Amino acid sequence: MGDPGRCCNMADCELCGLAKPTLVPVKVQVHTLANPEGAYKGLCQDCLASCEAAYQQHFGEKKEAKK
């Protein structure tokens, strides 16, 4: 039945591969016929924070549009 130390409801982060109980779904662009609109990838909180920091460093702060 798999690894005895690993819980059944854990999922692997798409970037770092660590098993975490909760992942954040992030929509990414993938160019395939099966997913023309993009796909959701699960990221852990640490990888999500790293991606956000890299995005802000490369593109600058994202400003929210006023409604």
* Average of per-residue pLDDT across 9-15: 90
Task: Report the percentage of the chain scoring pLDDT > 70.
Answer: 81
Give 17-66 pLDDT, tens digit per residue: 999 999 999 998 887 888 888 889 999 999 999 999 998 999 887 776 67
| Mean local confidence (pLDDT), 8-21 | 89
pLDDT of residue 65: 67
CB neighbours of 24 closer than 8 A, spacing ≥ 6?
A: 42, 43, 44, 45, 48
| Domains in the chain: boundaries | 11-59
Report the pLDDT value the prediction gives residue 1, as an integer from 0 to 100.
Answer: 43
Between CA 48 and CA 67 the distance in angstroms is 26
